[in-house]
Amino acid sequence: MQNFEYYNRTKIIFGRGTEKAVGRETAAYLKGQDLRILLHHSGGHAVKSGLLDTIKDSLKKAGVAWVELSGVKPNPRLSRVYEGIELCKKENLKFILAVGGGSVIDSAKAIALGACYDGDVWDFYARKKTPAAALPLGVVLTIPAAGSESSISSVITDERGPWKQGVNTECIRPVFSILNPELSYSLPPYQTACGIADMLAHIMERYFTKEPHVDLTDELCEGAMRAIIRNARRIFSGGGEDYNARAEIMWAGSLAHNNLLSTGRIGDWASHGIEHELSALYDIAHGAGLAIIFPAWITYNIKEDTPRLARFAAEVWGVDGAFYDPKQAALEGVFRMKNFFRSIGLPVSFADAKIPADRIPEMARRAVRFGPQGNYRSLNAGDVEAIYRIVAEEK
């Protein structure tokens, strides 16, 4: 097991009706300070569903005033981030409340960084500068997926490239996050499914490690993945308004990405890098891109160190441990994973997602522009290209 530091200061407020606590939590955090905040959201479902009214009510009752910035899109754009930064600076706002899913939260995190920085916030995403400070932010989560509600990550798309880049820094970890599973009832099934693929991918990225001595976290990863798969099936087979299944999925999405599951190990993360090129160029949902890439990533890697891939198949996908041989077991695991993704309506090939195969070499070059992808397996442009080819040839 490798040395590690683990620190997660996000206060989670979880359960039915908890969005009504947002005013109280915000005012408590800002105690003694100016109670004026940036309220950041997509302007879509949160408005129509009445959630935003509930939140404004709660803020008003707690004496919190806000300036609103809406219109965040999936794969959140840098241009909106710039607007938010300007707004915070002009209005001297010292706190951001993000109401939405990963896109809104990641956009809020970028604004939080930019508001405390004199240069271009893209410097942090382009790896030219390391962030030193950010405004504090709170979250009301509506989409269980990215885990951004208690993570140190933010991923933004600079539409001028387009480049999709992430930054990881402790200073953007939300100070509180409110998680009410009921808010996810009204998600379209496709978005629910994309969220499920995203959280599974967050755990898989951590699970695939070179570190052999991570017994406890292996158990936690495998257990969390089984719980996600089981409750996803429950949502898709039994109807979307199953509170307990929604709750398991929502809490799992947070735990998948709050770094507990990577303690003592270094994860892989190549699939995320390989996927980012898909969503940068074709603007598909990140979760859908991961459902396409991850099975191919495993298939490509089966040639080496198969035991961990076979264990994954056995413990997570229920493949009999004695199944033929480790390689065959690992392949059977991939087969079941793809079946699962398809069963909840996700694409597992370029054809499924209507992605053309004509820019594969370009995507592969872009994916390795900062160096090889992956820690469990180091992949160069040729490897990445081969992985794209696997999904391009998939029927």
Binding of a copy of itself by 381 (CB under 8 A): no
In this structure, is the dihedral angle defined by the CA atoms of residues 358, 364, 365 and 367, taken in order, positive or negative? positive
Q: Which of 315, 116, 97 is CA-nearest to residue 203?
A: 315
For residue 106, the surrounding DSSP H or E stretch is helix 102-114
- Rounded Cα gap, residues 52 and 69, in angstroms: 12
On whether the CB atoms of residues 19 and 61 are closer than 8 A, the answer is no
Note whether 2 binds a copy of itself by CB under 8 A: yes
58 binds a copy of itself (CB under 8 A): no
* Minimal distance, residue 177 CB to a copy of itself, in Å: 10
Q: Which stretch binds a copy of itself (CB under 8 A): 1-9, 56-64, 84-92, 279-287?
A: 1-9
Q: Quick one: which of 48, 213, 239, 325 contacts a copy of itself (CB under 8 A)?
A: 213
**By CB under 8 A, is residue 255 in contact with a copy of itself?**
yes
CA 51/CA 73 separation, integer angstroms? 18
Q: Is 320 in the site for a copy of itself (CB under 8 A)?
A: no
Q: Considering the rule CB under 8 A, would residue 220 count as an interface residue with a copy of itself?
A: yes
Pull the structure tokens for residue 338: 């793809």
| Residue 244 binding a copy of itself, by CB under 8 A | yes
**Sequence letter at residue 255:** L
Q: Which stretch binds a copy of itself (CB under 8 A): 51-59, 97-105, 251-259, 338-346?
A: 251-259
* Rounded distance between C-alpha atoms, residue 54 and residue 279, angstroms: 33
CB atoms inside a 10 Å sphere around CB 370: 10
The residue within the footprint of a copy of itself, chosen from 251, 294, 340, 388 (CB under 8 A), is 251
Angstrom distance (rounded) from CA 81 to CA 204: 30
Binding flag, residue 339, a copy of itself (CB under 8 A)? no
How many residues interact with a copy of itself (rule CB under 8 A)?
Answer: 42
Applying CB under 8 A, does 1 fall inside the site for a copy of itself? yes
| Site residues, a copy of itself (CB under 8 A) | 1-18, 181, 213, 215-216, 219-220, 222-224, 226-228, 230-231, 243-244, 247-248, 251-252, 255, 260, 263-264
